[in-house]
Amino acid sequence: MTGTTPALDRRHVPADLPTRIQHYIDGAFVDSVDGDTFDVLEPVSNEVYVQAAAGKKADIDLAVAAATRAFTEGPWPKMLPRERSRVLHKIADIVESRDKRLAELESFDSGLPISQALGQARRAAENFRFFADLIVAQADDTFKVPGRQINYVNRKPIGVAGLITPWNTPFMLESWKLGPALATGNTVVLKPAEFTPLSASLWAGIFEEAGLPAGVFNLVNGLGEDAGDALVKHPDVPLISFTGESSTGQLIFGNAAPYLKGLSMELGGKSPAVVFADADLDAAIDATIFGVFSLNGERCTAGSRILVQRDVYDEFVQKYAAQAKRVKVGYPHDPATEVGALVHPEHYDKVMSYVEIGKTEGRLVAGGGQPSGFEFGNFVAPTVFADVAPEARIFQEEIFGPVVAITPFNTDEEALALANNTKYGLAAYIWTNDLKRAHNFSQAVEAGMVWLNSNNVRDLRTPFGGVKASGLGHEGGYRSIDFYTDQQAVHITLGAVHNPTFGKQGR
C-alpha cells in the first residue's frame, strides 16, 4: 500500500472511540490474564486505532466458569419464557435506539458503507425481537394414546454455548446467535472476529441496561488459534455455533469431535445466479449486481458465479459490465457509497490476488484493480470477468470480495451441471418466467437456500444453512430452538400397566 496520507485526511473517525477493548467476564470488563493485546486496524488508512485484549486459554477458562455458574446457580435458565422475552425485547429496543451509533462504529471498523451498516444494526434488533416472540409462542409436541398413554416433549436449555462469529457484518451476525441462545435459557461465551472487535464490545452495556444477569453473557477477544481454539476444546462447552470459512470449519469439526459437541456451522459459499433467456433481464441485472457487490462482496451468500443462457449472454454481459462500472466506490462513512473498503490489508491482498488470477482465466469487462482516486487503503473496484470456464479458480473458489465470474450455458441440463460444479452449496438464485422450470431447477440445485426471481430476502422463520462444504446443520426460526435446546421425551401411562413379566414365581 502506498500513499496513506489522503486516507488519513479523508477518513471519518467517530467520536468517543474507546482507548482499549477488553474482555467482558462475569459482569466486568477485564484485561487478559497475561496482559497481552493485539492491534486493530481501520480499513481506510490501515492504521492501528485501538488495541484489544488478546484472549488465551486462561481467559476462556474464566469466561466458561462464569457462564457455568450463571447456568447452574443463576436465575436465567429457570425463568419463564415470558420473563426472558421481556429482557430480549428491551435489548431490541436499546439496539434500535442506538442504530446510528452502532452503524457508525461498524462502518469505521469494518469498512462497510454506512447505509448498509445501518440496515445491519436494525436487523440485529429484529433478530432479538423475533426470538423474544418465538420463545413465548413456542409449542412442543404432545402425542396421545387415549386411555393408555400421553407422550410429550420437554425442551431444556443445554448449558454454555460457544459462539464464534466472523468479521463481515459482525454485530448483526452476533445477534443472530446471541438471540436464540439466550432466548432458550443458555448462557454464552462469545469470541468475535479479531479484525472487527469494536461493535462486539457494545453488547455488554446493552445487556446490562436490559437487565441480563451477570455471567449469562461473556466475551473474550483474541485470535482464532488461541481464544477460538480454547473455546472449541473446552470440556464444559457443549455447543459451538460458528460462522466462517470452510477450512476453519473443518478444524473445528475435528477439535470438537472428542467431546461430541453440538455443532452448527455456516461456512463458505460460491453461489450461482442462473439467468435464463426468458427472465426479466433488467431485474436480474439489478439483483445480481446487488447480490455480489453489496456489503463490499464480503458476504457468504453472494451470487459470485453468474450463469447466463447464451441467447441473452452478450446483452447481459454488456449491460452488467456497464452498470458495475457505475457502482459508487467511496469512503465508508459517505451515505452515497455503495462499495466501501475491504476489512483488512490481509484480505485485500487475497482479493487482489484473485483479480490477477482472473485476468488469466476470463475476459475482464469491468474493474480489475483499485478505483481511480483511491490508491490507498483496501479499496477494490467492482470487478467483472466474462467467459469464465468452470475449471477456473475464480469460478471454483470463494473470493469474498467485489469480484464476479460470468459463464454462458445453452440448456437447462448444462446450467444445472454448472451450478452444482463446486464444493459449496449455500445459496442459489434462479431467474426465469417458466414456472415448471423454476420449481424443477430449484429442487435439483445443490444449495441449502434458493431464491426464485428474487434477491437475497429471507424470512426469519426459515432455516438458514448449506450443503456440501457450505455448512453443517441449520439455524433460523425453530431450527435455532432445536439447536440450543435438548428435547426430552416424557411418557406417562394412564391405564393399567402392561408389562411383560420375567421371572415370575408359581408358573
Query: Catalytic amino acids?
Result: 266
Secondary structure element (H or E) that encloses residue 332, with its range: none
Residue 63 to residue 26: CA distance in whole angstroms:
7
- How far apart are alpha carbons 37 and 48 in whole angstroms? 12
Q: Are 290 and 324 in contact (CB under 8 A)?
A: no
Taking each helix axis from N to C terminus, what angle separates 81-97 and 170-183, rounded to the nearest 10 degrees?
160
- How far apart are the C-alpha atoms of 205 and 22, rounded to whole Å? 13
Q: Are 303 and 427 in contact (CB under 8 A)?
A: yes
Grid cell locating 84: 426472558
Kind plus residue range of the DSSP H or E element containing 158: none
* Three-state SS letters, 22-75: CEEECCEEECCCCCCEEEEEECCCCEEEEEEECCCHHHHHHHHHHHHHHHHCCC
Q: Which of 96, 79, 244, 249 is nearest to 173 (CA)?
A: 244
Instruction: Output the CA torsion sign for 432, 435, 436, 441.
Output: positive
Three-state secondary structure of 84-135? HHHHHHHHHHHHHHCHHHHHHHHHHHHCCCHHHHHHHHHHHHHHHHHHHHHH
Q: Which helix (H) or strand (E) holds 461?
A: none
Minimal CA–CA distance to 80: which of 179, 11, 154, 183?
183
Give the residue from 34, 26, 18 showing the smallest Cα distance to 219: 26
Say if residues 119 and 294 touch (Cβ distance below 8 Å): no
Helices (H), 262-369: 281-293, 310-326, 345-361
- Cross-strand bridge partners of residue 24: 29, 219
Q: Which of 211, 237, 226, 405 is nearest to 320 (CA)?
A: 405
Beta carbons within 10 angstroms of residue 154's beta carbon: 11
